[in-house]
Structure 1
């Protein structure tokens, strides 16, 4: 039997005249904000769900613990296939979030006060039902395989003969990063620099890299206060477990990253440049991107785009070529449905009230001050 066609869409790769002119580079935007659930999550999760339906049949019961983009992607993909879906999330979710899930025909159960409560309830349901499958948010190779398709598309969509000088995306738990690195390896870009962006208050990936030998000049480093170093025996890496998250970029809000993705980053031929910016810098970026490109993105996605609105930061991350040839860079515009006009107005006011003369940025163990 031939393989089923993917549920995810091939999204446009758009040349950005605004950003290219500002950065003196050829800047391409991979618009995964245009997936059916409004985020890249739909790629990997729809791929995982199609595999689950193949394995369990139409009677499969998809179960997820997520009040965010993973939950909505599960609801959308399951709806497309006509299978049952139950989404667990902590009590107190916004009415608009619940409405999105129910619009897709998903059963929604509000349980407990935190994500761990919702996850525990989801795991209990899966244990009790023969054909129930727990849908992972980010830590699963099948997800990475689905997300990798965006790089395979990008390689086809770039002008003939163009190989990027960098691929830039945000990272939380590592699902998107794993897909990008896997996709780069598939298309022969394993040597292309990969720049992973996080916020300072939600940077489990950055902290995990610092615990291992290699990626930072002084690593391995001891865990910082409030962070637990955990060893994963399967991949033989250390990863950071954060006790508390202090960022409004909720879609980056993983307390720990996938150990498999950390291992992939440590072993990657082209390495990984791990960067952390402030919430306020990401907020300013979200407003500027909406103003220039007429696209609203979540704060997590805006973190990806922060170098697009600071030439100083961009030049440090992707140095100009000695030959003077233009740099070619791909930004993954991963999207997210939890954004609104009122939030962007709030972001504008918060960023405007930030009176310091420079943005604090961390990069592979170094601390930079980037002029505003």
Structure 2
């Protein structure tokens, strides 16, 4: 058994935490998934949370992407793209990424494992601790030129185009990156099967969405699993796509289609809503324009031939919350499980911590056009929360979240499927 970090271990010996540790140990027995040149990501733990199950009345499982080597889910997709670059250029490969956080750390981690060069272009205002982490991993950091991430992206693309061995790594757009993220679905199925969950199928998967690479990968993974094991899609797992206001291009885009499909669709596909600026503190969600491919995949996945549905998208709901709600979920998650996650991850936890206001509503069969929840009741659900992790967090930050926001609820904004609730 190999635990990646003592930070995964609870620090107090309550019965709840002892169970949590045993689940971590069992899950971590799977050890490394070795990909090309040993660069592949870990098979991350899936653990049952008694605390959150008791809170919600459902069976809540935590897919701990915090256990990846760089600290977030980004390893899955970025490692896949890095491996493809290595297959083309070998030891002379030069990975070039633009990121002020998790994607850059994943690229630097992949480069270190492959033994190749890495340059990460970050915006000028990137946190010093992130720059230090990148440098400690051996990456060259360019942080003097780009004012915002869009500028960093342009510079990284130019650098890659001028380097014959340069491989540009985009945080979310590449199909290969999404394909790497899709590996999470097979892991979840295998782990739930071992836990005795019928067909290894979650009823619900909740995840954070930034540019859309992760949710595109999850959708591809589910569709692939259904094609191989049809019972996995009986019915299809419900996806809850979570964002913060001010970093919600995906949610705004999906909701525009949901509320007026004709107006939001062109001959080239579904139109993406671009934000004028990122105003959320959850900067890891900060794509002003999400992936059009991810949006199209989400729209296709969401639909159903069940004409009685109260919504045209019974298989996918969007949840957009104020930063305060995501921040509150982060400190409560640390309190409950002694794992630190950043605000972008808190978005995926918000339906669980605001279960009465968010989760119960989403689990209704749908919402009516006026936003009122249907009265259909549900049996106990198997819910998997993708705890995507993140590098932009520390104990002092979580203490501020607790002080500033408490158990945020009524005073803060929540939007579900385009309707304020």
Q: Same fold (TM over 0.5)?
A: yes
Gap runs ≥5 in structure 2: 1-33, 227-231, 304-313, 366-374
Contact 1:78-1:84 at 8 Å conserved across structures: yes
Cα separation, partners in 2 of 1:32 and 1:357, compared to 1, 3 Å: closer
Distance 1:27 1:78 in 2: 35
Aligned to 1:363: 416
TM-score (norm 2): 0.79
Aligned to 1:310: 354
Aligned to 1:90: 123
Aligned to 2:208: 170
Q: Which range moved further: 95-104 or 29-38?
A: 95-104
Aligned to 2:252: 207
Q: Render the CA deviation track for 1:269-308: whole Å, top value 9, x for unaligned.
A: 5632111011111111111100001001000001100111
What is the deviation of 1:175?
0.7
Distance 1:245 1:304 in 2: 19
Partner SS, residue 92 of structure 2: coil
Aligned to 1:18: 51
Partner SS, residue 318 of structure 2: strand
Q: Which of structure 1's runs of 4+ aligned residues deviate more than 6 A?
A: 320-324
Aligned to 2:10: none
Structure 1 counterpart of 2:381, from 304, 311, 327: 327
Residues 1:145 and 2:179 aligned together: yes
Contact 1:231-1:239 at 8 Å conserved across structures: no
Gap runs ≥5 in structure 1: 223-229
Query: Normalized per residue, which structure has more strand?
Result: 1
Partner SS, residue 274 of structure 1: strand
Aligned to 1:295: 339
Contact 1:232-1:259 at 8 Å conserved across structures: no
Aligned to 1:249: 282
**Which structure exhibits the higher relative contact order, with contacts defined as CA atoms closer than 8 Å and separated by 6 or more residues?**
1
Contact 2:328-2:407 at 8 Å conserved across structures: no
Equivalent residues, number: 354
Residues 1:32 and 2:65 aligned together: yes
Contact 1:211-1:239 at 8 Å conserved across structures: no
| Residue correspondence of structure 1 range 192-231 to structure 2 within 5 A | 192-212=237-257, 215-216=258-259, 218-220=260-262
Distance 1:6 1:47 in 2: 9
Distance 2:209 2:63 in 1: 16
Contact 1:170-1:196 at 8 Å conserved across structures: yes
Contact 2:255-2:318 at 8 Å conserved across structures: no
What is the deviation of 1:219?
4.2
Cα separation, partners in 2 of 1:128 and 1:352, compared to 1, 3 Å: same
Aligned to 1:130: 164
Aligned to 2:270: 237
TM-score (norm 1): 0.90
Q: Which range moved further: 305-314 or 332-341?
A: 305-314
Structure 2 counterpart of 1:348, from 402, 406, 412: 402
Partner SS, residue 198 of structure 1: strand
Partner SS, residue 385 of structure 2: strand
Q: Which range moved further: 167-176 or 122-131?
A: 122-131
Structure 2 counterpart of 1:42, from 69, 72, 75: 75
Distance 2:247 2:180 in 1: 25
Structure 2 counterpart of 1:155, from 184, 189, 202: 189
Partner SS, residue 69 of structure 2: coil
